Chains A and B, each alone.
Chain A
Amino acid sequence: MENSNKLSQFSQRFAPTEIDALLPMGDDARAFIAENDFPTTKVERFKYTRLTKLANAVFEAQKQEVNLEKRHEQICPDSIAIYVVDGEVILPETSLPSGLAIDFISSAQNVPNSSIKDVFAALNTLHAQSGVRIKVANNCIIEPVIELVHVVNSSYAGFTRNHLSVGENAQAKFVLTYVSKHSNTGFSHVHTSIEVAKHAHVQVEKVQMESAENFSFSDEEVWQDADSVFQINTLTLDGHLVRNDLHIQVLGEHSETHLNGLYMLNGQQHVANYTTVDHQVANCQSNELYKGIMDDKSVSVFNGKVFVRQDAQKTNAFQSNANVLISEDASVNSKPELEIYADDVKCSHGSTTGQLDDEALFYLRARGISEKGATQLLLTAFMSDVLEKISVPAVKEKVFEVINERFNWDLSL
């Protein structure tokens, strides 16, 4: 029987996946699509994000010829760069350091199933066209940054699936770059699963700067084993409708998790960050800090959830979201949540939203600093604790460059 709801229709616009490792999960995903429609704003996780525009959007599906010569989109000039251009994966041509393996996802024997049970996870499972599998062997420290550059080149619409695994005692830095080269409406959904083995250190810089016409959806699902350190910085600098779902399961004791975010929005941008840190074992700590600067009629959503399960005694979990509105028309929806089932833990969460301090602005101006200069000083100060967390200098420079282009602010630390 043909299902005629919007979600099924949307699903039918995309070809079935040919990634072998995803096929066993197909039945569940198909069942999910059959039983559900696009979530309305009555559904908690989509309360502030209307998907009607996406459901009705028209994407010119024809693919542009990928120009292999024009790979200038990476942020780090010296990175090991893998390009995913309109869903087509281009592996690096240079030789890789020992212990690092990069391949098409289609050659992977198995890919972990996503535990995120929503529409986009199901669509991704059914329609992922391509993706990358990156493996860092045990005891290997990969010095160069590994950069995964997602480019929406034309009015591309499609799903990508990546899997990163970092072995025991290994260390790696990843930059996930999202750019678009076209001003027509595009849509991309990227699901990236990340396995962090015992004693591994993994750093991820996620830099989103797709055009103001693009729908940019991405999930990261992270599994952390004992004594590991995982840090992700989600830096959203552009995009029409951006949604990030970050799901971290802390499965091994004595692990550290750091998740930071920065979003700088203007125009009618809508950016939603949904995060989950699930502490399932004892003696771990997590720190979460998301900050936003909102101009014009932009809208942001922050929903951070921290679970501390019954066995997760001695957990230290901190979560904070702070926003500055520099326009009267911008709006913020912030919902930090803690769910604690253990009794010997230290947890806190908080959320603030406000304008720049008028007294501070006046003080700076009374010393001869222009209103714009004073605003820049105060905003830089506001962002500084997140900016300090960025571990790749080229990423920090890129952030300043994009802020300068979009807001005409000349920031420096």
Chain B
Amino acid sequence: MIKIENLHASINGKEILKGLNLVVNAGEVHAIMGPNGAGKSTLASVLAGREDYEVTAGSVDFDGTDLLELSTEDRAREGLFLAFQYPVEIPGVSNVNFLRTALNEIREYRGQESISAKDFMSMVREKSAIVELDSKLASRAVNEGFSGGEKKRNEIFQMAMLEPKLAVLDETDSGLDIDALRIVANGVNTLKSDKNATIVITHYQRLLDYIVPDFVHVLYNGRIVMTGTKDLALELEEKGYDWIKDSIEA
């Protein structure tokens, strides 16, 4: 699905990713954990094509396509989805108008016909139920006045609508109470199939009780320094990150 090799990226001349390698196959869930400042959100931003970051070395192959050559919108059209850590409020743009525009631009890119208004609305009803999002929120302005939990549920709702090949969830658990966390995780699990894959970026192990990863990676100082199963997450929760730092620097 995605093969990241020796990825180096910097912002304002400061190198954050320092030779990151990661392979994710279809049907897999990978968790990326790490202390603050390790480069977790930078990885998400670089994959989505945020222009503030400069990729200085390395390659990213996304299902046979050179991801780094694509614009942000073309990455989304190829099937990459980033669930934002801080979803943006966009006053005046309705959720449904925004999603219909997105869906139709993606379909046009893939040589498919536009979705009819009727099919679109029934899709909205079906997908918003997955994350228990009130259908009234779907017709409101994008994220405007949404609670923290509603914003994150809206991210997963959009993911359900756009049906990506690879979803990158950037700290989706931050700021969520346990009910919202359960709903969001349940949404992600419902959307899981053997044809798509998920990268869950998180600081805490908590989310991984609900979204069970096949692999857990530890990102530290711009590189993946340790890979294990879900037990590694539990070990990190218990021992903290200092243990990793010490073992790397030793």
Give chain A's interface residues, CB within 8 Å of chain B.
Answer: 357, 359-360, 362-371, 373, 377-378, 380-382, 384-385
Residues from chain A with a CB closer than 8 A to the CB of B158 are 367
User: What residues on B are CB-neighbors of A359 within 8 Å?
Assistant: 88
CA distance A360 to B72 in the complex (A): 13
Give every chain B residue within 8 A of A385 (Cβ-Cβ): 92
Within the complex, which residue of B88, B90, B109 is in contact with A368, where a contact is CB–CB below 8 Å?
A: B109
Contact, CB under 8 Å: B90 / A367: no
Contacts of A368 in B (CB 8 A): 73, 76-77, 102-103, 105-106, 109, 162
Contacts of B92 in A (CB 8 A): 378, 380-382, 384-385
At the interface, yes or no: B36 with Cβ under 8 Å from chain A? no
Given A363-B84, A363-B87; A377-B72 close (CB under 8 Å): no
Contact of A364 (CB < 8 Å), options: B48, B49, B90, B106: B90
Point out which of B97, B98, B141 has the most chain A C-beta atoms below 10 A from its C-beta: B98
Indicate whether B50 reaches chain A with its CB closer than 8 angstroms.
yes
Contact B76 A367 (CB under 8 A): yes
Cβ–Cβ < 8 Å partners of A371 in chain B: 71, 73
B147 at interface (Cβ–Cβ under 8 A)? Answer: no
Q: A359-B88, A373-B105, A377-B98 are in contact. Are A365 and B93 (CB under 8 A)?
A: no
Q: Which residues of B contact A382 (CB under 8 A)?
A: 92
Which residues from A are CB-within-8-Å of B93? 364, 377-378, 380-381
Chain A residue contacts of B50, Cβ below 8 A: 362
Q: Which residues on A sit within 8 Å (CB–CB) of B75?
A: 366
**Interface set, chain B 77-97, CB cutoff 8 A to A:** 77, 82, 84, 87-88, 90-93, 97
B193 within 8 A of A: no
Q: How far is the CA of A361 from the CA of B171 in the complex (A)?
A: 21
The interface residues of chain A lying within 8 Å CB-to-CB of B82 are 366
Interface centre among B87, B88, B109, by most chain A C-beta atoms within 10 angstroms, is B88
B102 contacts A360, C-beta separation under 8 Å = no
The answer to whether residues A362 and B72 also contact, given A368-B105, A373-B101 and a CB cut-off of 8 A, is yes
* Known contacts A370-B73, A370-B105; is-contact A363 B162 (Cβ 8 Å): no
A369-B73, A378-B90 given. 19 additional CB < 8 A pairs? A357-B88, A359-B88, A362-B51, A362-B88, A363-B88, A364-B98, A365-B71, A365-B72, A367-B99, A367-B102, A367-B158, A368-B109, A369-B98, A373-B101, A373-B105, A377-B93, A377-B97, A377-B101, A381-B141
Q: Hey, which chain A residues are within 8 Å of B109, CB to CB?
A: 368
Bound-complex Cα distance A121 to B203 (A): 69
Residue contact A360 to B105, C-beta cutoff 8 Å: no
Bits for B131-168, please: 1 = Cβ < 8 Å to A, else 0. 00000000001100000000000000010001000000
Given contacts A366-B48, A370-B105, A373-B105, whether A360 and B90 have CB atoms under 8 Å apart is yes
Give Cα distance in the complex from A359 to B49, angstroms.
Answer: 13
Which interface residue of A366, A368, A369, A370 has the most chain B CB atoms within 10 A? A368
In the complex, what's the smallest C-beta–C-beta distance from B165 to chain A, in angstroms?
13
Q: Which residue of A has the minimal Cβ distance to B88? A: A363
A194 to B76, CA, bound (A): 54
A328, B51: Cα distance in complex, Å: 19
Residues of A within 8 A of B99 (CB): 367
Q: For B101, list chain A residues within 8 Å (CB).
A: 369, 373, 377
CB-nearest residue of chain A to B164: A368
In the bound assembly, the distance between CA atoms of A367 and B96 in angstroms comes to: 13
CB distance from B125 to the nearest CB of A (A): 20
Residue of B71, B73, B106, B142 most packed against chain A (CB within 10 A): B73
Report which residue of A357, A367, A370, A384 has the largest number of chain B beta carbons within 10 angstroms of its beta carbon.
A367
Q: Which 6 A-B pairs have the closest CB atoms?
A: A381-B92, A368-B76, A367-B102, A363-B88, A365-B72, A368-B106
Contact present for B88 and A360 (CB under 8 Å): yes
Q: Report the bound CA distance from A364 to B94 in whole Å.
A: 12
**Can you report 13 residue pairs joining A to B where beta carbons are below 8 Å apart?**
A364-B102, A366-B72, A366-B75, A366-B84, A367-B76, A367-B102, A367-B162, A368-B102, A368-B162, A370-B105, A377-B93, A381-B92, A381-B141
Q: Which residues of A contact B90 (CB under 8 A)?
A: 357, 360, 363-364, 377-378, 381
Q: Chain B contacts of A384 at CB under 8 A?
A: 92
For residues 50 through 88 of chain B, which have their beta carbon under 8 Å from a beta carbon of chain A? 50-51, 71-73, 75-77, 82, 84, 87-88
What separation, in Å, do the CA atoms of A25 and B163 have in the docked complex?
Answer: 73
Q: Which has the most chain B C-beta neighbours within 10 Å: A366, A369, A370, A380?
A: A366
Interchain nearest-CB distance for A115 vs B (Å): 38
Selected contact of A365 from candidates B76, B84, B91, B103, CB within 8 Å:
B76
Q: For A376, give the chain B residue with the smallest CB separation.
A: B101
CB neighbours (8 Å) of A362 from chain B are 50-51, 72, 88
- CB nearest to B48 among chain A residues: A366
* Smallest CB gap from B83: residue in A: A366
Specify the chain B residue showing the minimal Cβ separation from A379.
B92
CB distance from A363 to the nearest CB of B (A): 4
Docked complex Cα distance between A182 and B133 (Å): 56
**Which residues from chain A contact B77 at a C-beta distance below 8 Å?**
368
Q: Are B88 and A369 in contact (CB under 8 A)?
A: no
On chain B, the residues within 8 Å of A357 by CB distance are 88, 90
The complex places the Cα of A377 from the Cα of B48 at a distance, in Å, of: 20
Question: Chain B residues near A364 (CB, 8 Å)?
Answer: 90, 93, 98, 102
Chain B residue nearest to A374 in the complex (CB): B73
- Least distance between A173 CB and chain B CB atoms (Å): 27
Q: How far is the CA of A55 from the CA of B73 in the complex (A)?
A: 50
Determine whether the beta carbon of B76 is less than 8 Å from that of A381.
no
User: Which B residues are in CB contact (< 8 Å) with A380?
Assistant: 92-93
**Closest approach, in angstroms, between the C-beta of B78 and any C-beta of chain A?**
9
Chain B residue nearest to A382 (CB atoms) is: B92
CA distance A364 to B73 in the complex (A): 8
Interface pair B98/A367, CB less than 8 Å apart: yes
Residues of B within 8 A of A377 (CB): 90, 93, 97-98, 101
Q: Contact flags (1/0) for B36-53 with A, using CB distance below 8 Å?
A: 000000000000111100
